[in-house]
Amino acid sequence: MIIMDYLKILEDLVKIRTDNRIGVKKAFKYLSNLFNNLGIKNTIIEGCFVAYKEKENFDLILNSHIDTVKIQSNFKKDDNNFYGTGVIDAKGNVVLMIHAFLNSNNSLLVISPDEETESNGIYNFCQYLRNKNKIQRGIKCIVGEPTDLNVCIGHKGRFEYIVESFGEARHASSQGLNPIEILSRVILDLKNLPLEKIKVDKIYSSSITPTIIKGGIQSNIIPDYAYVLFDVRSVEKDIIKKIDDFLSQKNYSKHIKSSLNPERHYANFYMLENKELINKLSKHFKISFFNATCEAYYFNKFLKADTIIYGVGKLELAHSKEEYLNLNDFDRGIKEVEKLAELMIE
């Protein structure tokens, strides 16, 4: 077993601000120096940091992401906890994956550069592996995210769904087609659209939530255009088609246009279907479902990899000023992730 000062590595990584591309490059340089000092090969492929012992021979991919959301709080620590943006989402879990990699023979470590934004890194990396025919049948993957040390066998899909509405600009005292009023009807109608639910350890539901709305240029002018962006989370397949079909039946349908925000890739709803693997893992770990979205979907879609999500930290603390990592949980995660990696490929 390789002995590492994981708390020092984690502190160093959290102190590198990675809510921007320059910071991500600095963090990857830090990781490269770390592995170079260990005599372990590493490189950058499609923007992802990759460490490997045998580049052509691996049956387990260990993944997490180095980027964070915009900084909510700076790093600090006490005897019990580390605090600050990134300690659980996901640099603490980067360190867990590093430990699993160092203590397994046939694994590949892949760290994403942009999971919180476009997901271009993993999207392109998975296609790179597929196109190079570098994937063995039956490959497995662990994605490091804050799951409170539960093994999550799936995650929600996420989409940015835009509805644009159109009318004619005119004086606010006149009557007629108002794009803002149209969008208010769209929002209320979608709130009443029946959505699916699933049960894993508890009930998880799809959701359609308006998060951005824009329109208008002056208080006394009815605008000719407005739009609303919905954050769509799914525990069902084809939810976008479901929304499209629903809106197409409304009497305002000829005055709206709907589409996905084209500026990013989207991870759809994912659920592990390997019942034998689930049963094996359930003997050692609590089985749950990741109530957000992550990049596990891409490993399954492009590489046909049986993928689970595992890591330290409570999901509800991520992206908040209250983000913290309990050090006892971190120690437990270090021990458990090594066992989890063994179970995935035995």
Known binding residues for Zn(2+) are: 65, 89, 116, 145, 319
3-state secondary structure of 35: helix
Query: Please, what's the b/e burial string for 290-329 (b: 16 or more CB within 10 A of its CB; e: otherwise)?
Result: bbbbbbbbbbbbbbebbbbbbbbbbbebbbeeebbbbbeb
Phi (first) and psi of residue 307, to 5 degrees: -125, 135
Q: Residue 289: left if φ>0, alpha if ψ -120 to 50, beta else—which one?
A: beta
Backbone CA torsion sign across 43, 49, 54, 55: negative
DSSP 8-state class, residue 243: H
Residues 6+ apart with CB under 8 A from 334: 6, 95, 96, 99
Choose, from 59, 114, 115, 336, the residue flagged as catalytic. Answer: 115
Answer yes or no: are the C-beta atoms of 140 and 306 closer than 8 Å: yes
Q: Are strands 81-83 and 48-52 parallel, antiparallel or unpaired?
A: unpaired
The residue whose two tokens read 């000092």 is 37
67 is catalytic: yes
Q: Which amino acid is at 2?
A: I
346 is catalytic: no
DSSP 8-state class, residue 192: T
Choose, from 59, 67, 306, 323, the residue flagged as catalytic. Answer: 67
- Residues annotated as catalytic (active site), given as ranges: 67, 115
